[in-house]
Amino acid sequence: MRIQAWMPAWLRHYQRDWLSGDVLAGLIVTVMLIPQSLAYAMLAGLPPEVGLYASILPLIAYALLGSSMTLAVGPVAVASLMTASSLAPLAAQGTPEYLAMAILLALLSGLMLIGAGLLRLGFLAWFLSHPVISGFISGSAVLIAIGQVKYLLGITFSSAGVLSTLAGLIKHLPETNVVTSGIGITALVFLFFARSHLALLLRRIGVPAKVAEMVSKLAPITAVILSTAVVASLDLAETAQVSIVGNVPAGLPVLAMSLPSWDALHALWVPAMLISLVGFVESVSVAQSLAMKRAQRIQPDRELLGIGAANIASALSGGFPVTGGFARSVVNFSAGANTPVASVISALMMGVVLIGLTSWFHYLPHTVLSATIIVAVLGLIDMQTLKDAWHYDKADATALLLTFFGVIVFGVEEGIVIGVALSLAVLVWRSSHPHMAVVGRVPGTEHFRNIERHQVETLPGLIALRIDESLYFANAQVLEEKIESLLQQQPGTRDLLLILSAVNQLDTTALVMLTELERDLAERHIRLHFAEIKGPVLDRLRNTPLGEQMKDRIYLSTHQAFLACSAG
């Protein structure tokens, strides 16, 4: 009974007819997850088994704590890129320190996400605007794709930054390994074809649309199997120096955690925060858009706990930062996943792979993993949002482009900082421009409308200003300026009426401003009046010195205020 209460709702009320969908989805996601987990470990600069480790326990942790029924958690491209880029200045790839820091990054990120979840900070995720996220993801995708070209062609050089990578590619192009690049480019073409045309082709020859869609998702694993078979049978690693994955240790990960050093914590907390932010925003957007299609709900604060627990589970089992992936979650959803049981099945299958099948990956060529990465990330490049934003709102389009080029020119971490700064700047800008209208009376009625849009009556010596937003520190000073400018335009003003019908909140800064305004106006022989204050705002205002001072000049309706001002 007690255990039941701790079980998630989907498990307590599990229905047998959900199982077939969950099993099918779990199997198809596993088939996608095998090449992706190997490829994203490579992208993060980590040994292949780390990608597999990150694809077992994190899935189960999210299943138990997350709120989405269909999110597929595991290694993803952007978080892997961010891992590599934040570890690059701290340790060399292939060293035990590098691996330890990747694990620590997952741990820190998990702790931060859980902390944010307990503090109910999920709302912070809404503060990256859609265009900024789109620009960030597209920029990261370009960065990742450029970074993979050298592996695709079998050339080796080290580089930092996109310009040095491009220069290196041009310089070392003559060193291209013909066999490696032959395999890689063949895989690339095959995967592109599979992604864009295979489903269509299958449907044309009579395969049902859904099955055709699923079969096209098998392309990456097919490329992996075929290329491994070719490399192994022709011994291309020896005879043609094709770079292969090599020995992948078999066996489940061992749960372990060593105490991190202060230096490492100090170096990694900012990257961990950025990875958490990006991972959470990406994950919760996918989860929410899938939930909406099935009339389900996502709880952002539970998502923080779920993704956070997944990262801690990853760290405990020797993995690196994980989050909900876009492509895999969509496949999981359309393959018919009903509950996180699908993810649990994926996790079990990945465990089977780790126990028994790692030797199969020995001859897997790196170039095919690069082809998988390139095809996956080029699918993330989003031109549509740019086009739409360009038509609809040039400011949003500009923010998108600045973030996009920020990522490519300055790097992925700097790019997300630019994106956050742009989003906040836009927020600050919008908040500091509240809508306000000087109103007058529609003749013969008790209605008051904007004097610039309607034929209305005004009273000499009275300015009636309607404020269409809550008053707080971000716009209090703007209101003060607006009032002073109105008073200068109408020097004979004796009464100033503020209509507060849209003011849901009035913070301390606004209260201080209004208190000073009332006093300064009184010295200039101008009376301040309030009308249509909302109940909760009035309750708090009454107990302040301003409320005391103004108690005879607060009116229920604008009409009553007009009557009082024309009488007095």
Site residues for a second copy per CB under 8 A: 123-131, 288-289, 291-293, 295, 297-298, 385, 388-389, 391-393, 396-397, 423-424, 426-433, 435, 468-470, 472-478, 480-481, 484-485, 487-488, 502, 504-505, 507-509, 511-513, 516-517, 520, 523-524, 540, 543-544
- Minimum distance, C-beta of residue 71 to a second copy, in the bound complex (Å): 16
- Minimum distance, C-beta of residue 158 to a second copy, in the bound complex (Å): 26
- Minimum distance, C-beta of residue 336 to a second copy, in the bound complex (Å): 16
- Minimum distance, C-beta of residue 551 to a second copy, in the bound complex (Å): 16
- Minimum distance, C-beta of residue 190 to a second copy, in the bound complex (Å): 32
**Strand partners of residue 441:** 448, 457
CA torsion 40→42→43→46, rounded to 10°? 100
DSSP 160-219: -SHHHHHHHHHHHGGG--HHHHHHHHHHHHHHHHIIIIIHHHHHHTT--HHHHHHHHTTH
| 212/284 with CB nearer a second copy | 284
- Minimum distance, C-beta of residue 119 to a second copy, in the bound complex (Å): 11
Question: Nearest CA to 275 among 107, 92, 67, 41?
Answer: 107
| 351/461 with CB nearer a second copy | 461
- Minimum distance, C-beta of residue 517 to a second copy, in the bound complex (Å): 7
| 204/430 with CB nearer a second copy | 430
Beta-strand (E) ranges in 38-195?
73-74
Q: Which long-range contacts link 215-218 to residues 24+ away (Cβ below 8 Å)?
A: 217/28, 217/31, 217/32, 217/331, 218/31
- In the block, residue with structure tokens 């066996």: 251
C-alpha to C-alpha distances, 5 to 9, 18, 60, 305, 340, nearest whole angstrom: 9, 21, 18, 18, 18
Q: How many residues does the chain have?
A: 568
Beta strands 436-441 and 462-467 are: antiparallel
| 393/457 with CB nearer a second copy | 393
| 96/491 with CB nearer a second copy | 491
Numbers of helices and strands, H then E, in the chain: 27, 8
Structure tokens at 492: 């004979």
Question: Nearest CA to 407 among 145, 45, 150?
Answer: 145
Largest interatomic CA distance in the chain? 102
- Minimum distance, C-beta of residue 560 to a second copy, in the bound complex (Å): 19
Do residues 338 and 103 make contact, with C-beta atoms less than 8 angstroms apart?
A: no
- Minimum distance, C-beta of residue 123 to a second copy, in the bound complex (Å): 4
Question: How far apart are the C-alpha atoms of 248 and 359, rounded to whole Å?
Answer: 7
| 2/453 with CB nearer a second copy | 453
| 177/423 with CB nearer a second copy | 423
| 243/515 with CB nearer a second copy | 515
- Minimum distance, C-beta of residue 280 to a second copy, in the bound complex (Å): 13
What letter would DSSP give residue 357? Answer: I
| 229/428 with CB nearer a second copy | 428
- Minimum distance, C-beta of residue 513 to a second copy, in the bound complex (Å): 8
| 131/139 with CB nearer a second copy | 131
Do residues 473 and 510 make contact, with C-beta atoms less than 8 angstroms apart?
A: yes
Q: What share of the chain is helix, strand, coil (3-state, %, to 5)?
A: 65, 5, 25
| 223/438 with CB nearer a second copy | 438
